[in-house]
Every structure is written in structure tokens, then in C-alpha cells.
Structure 1
Amino acid sequence: MKLRSIELITPDAAKAAAFLTDIWGMAPAEQRGTTHYLRGSGTHPYLVALEEGQEGVRSTTFLCEETELASLQKRVAESGLAAKPVVSEDPGGGHGLIVELPEGVLFRFLAGSAEAEPLDGRDLPVKLTHVVLNAADAEAAGDVAERVLGFQVSDRTKAMVFVRCNDSHHSTAFARAGFSSLNHIAFEMADIDAVFRGIGRLRDQKMAPAWGPGRHGPGANVFAYFIAPFGAVVEFSTAVEKVADDYKVGAPEDWTWPENRIDHWGLSEKDNAALREAEQRFRFHRDWVAAPLATTAA
């Protein structure tokens, strides 16, 4: 299974798309009505969808094989979580289900989605590396991700529960925030140079990082966070750690820092107040009615 895309709703989708393409560094994929689809250099047909409307998150989309989808569908049906079968109308198509986790997080799982030809461009993001969600109860969210979705918890810190769906250290994480919303979207860049060139592009626009550059503990990825003009927190990232099935799950006491240090490098301050405000903006937008799922795995 792999993370593919996030589908956002924003009042001015065209303006948000212009920032992500002209400044952040994505490529336009296509536009359908007032919905803008943006892509990176990899084979996913899009990474971000920007739909016109009241601010929110429509879904976060994962791709899986037919056998994975059948097993997942059975577990979701037996769990009692709100869900429904879906056929994707977004680029790439595919079929599967959308499920609402207990705090409203919306995950969509698709099989049979088509790929796109890769693009050249050293500063295009390759893909999404992770989408982090805020949670009132991060432990409960991580438990549902493991028990129902088939994900695995990789690490626990004082701030987050990190969860993976393949060998990448985390494809998502649940922040111990006290509320449920989108925390941030992380874009995988080709290398550290691409991350720093991205920081430079935004500095050219008088935009300073809200946090970074730095290197995280869990996942060991290089990072730089910015607050986009349309309100979402977006991250340049690269070199997320690959882990084996027997990776030892870390506990909060395993991830501590010296005084005045919150990452490996200690190069930058973190604008906690601005990030906290931005992280509360994009709530989850369920506009569908739950429907029965098949309960027989293939």
C-alpha cells in the first residue's frame, strides 16, 4: 500500500493552485471544473486536489492491490466504522472505499488506479511522503490504524504516534493535539539540495520557514515547514528512513533532546503559535452517507 494524494477544499482553489505551482514547485496536472489537480515528478497522476468550496479535507488517498483492498474492506465492515464503496472520479480513477475514523479523519483506499508518465524537473516534488493529522486521542487513532486499516505503528513521541503502511517510516502520523484536523502535508523532494532550493524559492517571496531546516528524530527526514497563503502547513522533506517489519517501536522516552533542541541539527526556531493556528484550519468534510461493504475477502 502507498500514500498517493490529498483532496482539499478551499474557497479560492485557483489562488491556492497558483501558489503550489508557481512558488512551491508543483506541476499542473489538469483542471476539472473549479477543481485543480497538481502533480509531482513521479508516476502518480496527481498529489493534491484543490476543490472550490468551504475549507476542509475531502480525503487522503492510499493505493493498494485488489487483495489488500478486499481484506481491508472486510475489516472495515466488521469494525462498524462509517464507510462506503467508491469509484474515483479523480485523475487515475480506481475503485475502493472511503472510511471515516472515529474522530472524523477520512481515508480513501483505491485499487486499479492508473499511473502517469513521470516528469523531468529537479525541483518538482516526487510524491507525498506523509500526511499528518491532529487527534484528540492519538493513541486511539493509531490503534484503529493498526487494527482496522492494517497499518503499523513505527514510533511514539511526546507529540505524535507515527504510522506506516509500507517500509517508509511513516505515511501518516497522529499528533497529540487535543482536536481533529489536518496537521501538515509533506512533499518528498529528490534530495537535500532540492529541499534547500525550495527554501530559497520561498525566501525569494519573503516567506520564511515556520520551522526548519532541520532533521527529525523519528524517520530521520530532513524538513522545512511553511504556512501556505491558503492556510495549510506544507513541508519540504527528503530521505525518510526505510524500516523492516521487525523495527522496534520507539517510546516517548526514546526520543528526547538536549535542552533548547527539538531536532538533530538545532539550526532553527519553531513558530509554535503560527503553526498551531494553521493546523486547526482544515477540518474533515464528510459529504456522503455510509453504505454497506462486502465482508468476504478475496
Structure 2
Amino acid sequence: MKLRSIELALPHAAEAAAFLTGIWGMASAEVRGQTHYLRGSGPFPYLVALEESAEAYVRSTTFTCARERLEELKVSVTRANLPARPVTSDDPGGGRGIIVELAEGELLRFLTDTSEVAPIEGKDLPVKLTHIVFNATDAEATGTLIEQALGFRVSDRTKGMVFVRCNESHHSTAFARAGFSSLNHIAFEMADMDAVMRGIGRLRDHGMVPAWGPGRHGPGANVFAYFIAPFGPVIEFSTAVEKVPEDYQPGAPEDWTWPEGRIDQWGMSDKDFAGLRAAEEKFRHRRDWGPQPLNEEQA
């Protein structure tokens, strides 16, 4: 299974797309109606979809998987009694599958039979999404639910996060112990550390400084730099997230502590806690469909 894309609804979608392509470093894939699809250098047809809307919210986060894995999901999601329905994707790449609502409103879409595109050149293009993190009222309960209902695995727990994986990458998603439910941040996988640093420099050229970073995390060990996007959410340049074996033993909060005054391995940058917190509250979850049995093949 792979994390593919996130689909957002927001006002002024064209302006957001212009920022992500003109400054952040993505490439335009296509525009369909009032939805802008943006891609990276890798084979996914798009990484971010921006749909024009009067209000900002998360439409879905999309994973791709094999047909057999989708059938397993239908059984486990039904057993967990989660709101869900069959879907046929009208987005680039197509595919069919299901969309599932977790206990705090997170909407995860799982597609099979999707198509990919030829990679494109660009040393400063993101390659793919490396992870999508959500804020949660009860991150522990959500971590348990996603293991039981979706077959994901908890990789590590810290004082602030429950990290969850769907393949060998240390985390494809995580749940922050925030006390509310929303999108925490979107992380873009860059080719290497130089690409992360060039990204920081490019944004500085446009008057933007990191809200946190550069640094290197503990869990996952990825290099990072977080920015608050002009259109609202927190977005991250990231690279070199750790690959973990199947029998990886999850760490507990006491396993991930830092010397006084530090909050990452390097300890070289400050964190704009207030600014990040405000940005993390802007994109909530919204379900605009009714549940249906998962053995019904319909959009």
C-alpha cells in the first residue's frame, strides 16, 4: 500500500495552486473544472488536489493498494462498523475502491486499478508525499482503530504523536495529541537533503522563513523544514524517512526525549508553536456522503 495524494477544498484554489507551483516547487498536472491537480517528479498523476470551495476542509487522503488488499479492507472496515462507501475515482489516475471515515472524521480513500504517469525531471520537485499527519482528540484510540480496522501498524509513540505506517516507511500518517481533530500538516518527500535546503532558500527568496527547521526528527529520523502556506495549512519539506522491518518494535514516549531546550536531533532551529497551532486548526474534516455497503460497486 502507498500514500498517494490529499484532496483539499478551499477558497481561492487557483491562488493556492500558483503558490505551490511557482514557489513551493510542484508541477501542474491538469485542471478539471474548478479543481487544480498538482504533481511531483514521481509516477503518481497528482499529489495534491485543490477544489474551489467557500470553506476550507479535507475532502480525503488517498492510498493505492492491490485488489487483494482492498478486499481485506472491505471486510475489516465492515467488521469495525466504520462509515464507508464504494467509490469510483474521477480524479487523474482513476481507480475504484472505498472511502472510510475514522472515529474523529478523518476520511481515507483506498483505490486499486489506478494508473500512473511517466516521471518528470526536476531536482527541486517533490518526488511524492511522504506523510499526512492529523490532529486528534484521542490519538491513542485512533492509532488502535487504524491498526484494527485498516491493518496499519503503529511505529512509535511520543509525547506529541502516534506514528503509523502502511508499508516499510516509518510513517505514512500520524496522529498528534492536539485535543481537536483537523489536518496537522502535509509532508513532501524531496530527493535529498540538498533539495530540502534549496527549498528553504527558495522560500526565503520570497520572504518566507521556516516555522520550524531545518532539523532532524527522532521517530523516522527524517530531515524536515515546516512552513505555513499562504492558503492556510502547514506544509513540510522532508527527506530520508527511516525504513523499518516488519518486526520493528514501537517506541514509547520515554524512548524519545531530548536535552533541555531541544525538540529534535539537531537542536539548531526554533519552532513557531503559536503560528503552527493556528494553521493546524484551519482544515477540518467533512463527510458529504452517506454510508453504503461495501459490496456495492458504485460511485
Fold agreement, TM-score > 0.5? yes
1:127 lines up with 2:128 in the alignment: yes
Q: Deviations over 1:33-77 (max 9, x none)?
A: 010000000000000000000200000000000000000011101
Please say if residues 154 and 248 of structure 1, whose CA atoms lie closer than 8 Å, have aligned partners that are also in contact: yes
Is the counterpart of residue 63 in structure 1 residue 64 in structure 2? yes
**Superposition map of 1:174-189 within 5 A:** 174-189=175-190
Contact map agreement 1:188 1:238 (CA 8 A) in 2: yes
| Structure 1 residue 80 corresponds to structure 2 residue 81 | yes
Counterpart position of 2:107: 106
- Where does residue 288 of structure 1 map in the other structure? 289
Task: Report the Cα distance in structure 2 between the residues aligned to 1:153 and 1:80, rounded to whole angstroms.
Answer: 21
Partners of 2:155 and 2:177 lie apart in 1 by: 16
AA aligned to 2:13 is: A
Tell me if the contact between 1:39 and 1:46 (Cα under 8 Å) persists in the aligned partners. Answer: yes
Matched, 1:160 2:161: yes
Normalised by the size of structure 2, how large is the TM-score?
0.98
Task: Look up the match of 2:24.
Answer: 24
User: Using the alignment, how far apart are the partners of 2:119 and 2:286 within structure 1?
Assistant: 31
Equivalence for 1:254: 255
Cα deviations across residues 157-183 of structure 1 (Å, max 9, x unaligned)? Answer: 000000000000000000000000000
What residue is the counterpart of 1:199 in the other structure? 200
* Residues in 1 aligned to 2:138 and 2:103: alpha-carbon distance in whole angstroms: 10
- How many angstroms does 1:118 deviate by? 0.2
What is the match of residue 2 of structure 2? 2
The unaligned stretches of length 5 or more in structure 1 are none
Q: Does 1:52 align with 2:31?
A: no
TM-score by length of 1: 0.98
RMSD, aligned CA: 0.7
Q: Which amino acid aligns with 1:77?
A: T
Determine if the alignment matches structure 1 residue 169 to structure 2 residue 173: no
The answer to whether the 8 A contact 1:77-1:294 is kept is: no
Does 2:49 correspond to 1:43? Answer: no
Partner of 1:138: 139
Separation in 1, partners of 2:249, 2:101: 29
User: What corresponds to 1:150 in structure 2?
Assistant: 151
Q: Structure 1: which amino acid aligns with 2:84? A: A
The structure 1 segments of at least 4 consecutive aligned residues displaced by more than 6 Å after TM superposition are: none
Deviation at 1:283, TM superposition (A): 0.3
* Structure 2, unpaired ranges of 5+: none
CA–CA distance in 2 between the matches of 1:293 and 1:117? 32
Alpha-carbon distance in structure 2 between the residues aligned to 1:84 and 1:294 = 9
Aligned to 1:269: 270
* Deviation for aligned residue 1:294: 2.6
- Once residues 106 and 176 of structure 1 are traced to their aligned partners in structure 2, the CA distance between those partners, rounded to angstroms, is 18
How far has the Cα of 1:293 moved from its partner? Answer: 1.3
